[in-house]
Structure 1
Amino acid sequence: MKNILIAAITATFFVSCSKKETQSTLNQTDSIKIIDSINAARTKINDSIRSTNYFKDFNGDHKFTHNLIKKSGSVNFKKTEGEKDHYKVLGDIKSGKDYVHIQGYMKIVSEKHMNFTGSISQSISENENGKIDIRQGTKTFLSKDGGKTWRLQDMVNGSGFVDYIDIHF
């Protein structure tokens, strides 16, 4: 009888131990799933904060002008992924043999300043018979009218003449 009682207690002990281990594993799995879902939600929030602009959205096509070209052209701003206030910029103005081409990246740094990094090439027949002038590097566009018009601040071209290259929003 003692042996049967000891066997029953031992069997109960092993059954209860194995149940606890199963429950513990289930609890750990549930905890991992909860932590993973919290991390996914935090990542989504952080990504949305990182890519939200500080300044107004410039995405899209805008009017592009040069003071010596009678027609206006167009410049396209395309927001770059994952960066605040950064845009890929591409645009042209063409009238006969005269043209201006802009290509690069624009970063909005304040309500009045944009920094353009890339190249602006132009050929204006009034400037040394259309000699090609290329401005490269980082250039600043400034707005004095509350963001409606942005003017290139590197105004003197390679021929020594002043150009007004504007982007209108």
Structure 2
Amino acid sequence: MVSHHASNIRGTYGYLDPEYISSRSFTKKSDVYSFGVLLFELITGRNPQQGLMEYVELAAINAEGKAGWEEIADSRLDGIFDVRELNDVAALAYKCVSRISRKRPTMRDVVGALTHAVKAGSSKKHHSKRSLPITVEGESADQKASDLQTSLSEHFRGESVDSLSDLPDV
């Protein structure tokens, strides 16, 4: 809860779209905002309820939107990650958490960008010394990415994602 006057606000503090707090209306872009917060939580290893977005905003000043996000990478990774992939995902996450909902990408665009990042990382012939090959229970990252893309494509196939429908009525 934000305050005792906001008792009709539903959601987890830290993940809530700032526009939802003022309008009390969820949109597709509210979910995009929350997903962006989740991406930054994964990148940094920090809890959104403990100043994550303030930390991100400070890093954004140095990152200039596209590169330089590696300074906020979770220290438990010990520098073992692909810098370009981290910058791509963080730049995408930063677009997702834009304070103005119409500037956020659609979830379809987010899924496409993440799929592209996974494919680009998987198709590298030589891994940089800062990245590790990923396997999960005997399956390669390529297979997991393919399964995820197929599942998400099937989910979104019937759904029309039109960003104009997310704009508030004026």
Scaled to the shorter chain, the TM-score interval is under 0.3
Structure with greater contact order relative to length (CA < 8 Å, sep ≥ 6): 2
Q: Which of the pair is proportionally richer in strand? A: 1
Bigger helix fraction: 2
State TM-score, norm by structure 1: 0.24
Structure having the higher Rg: 1
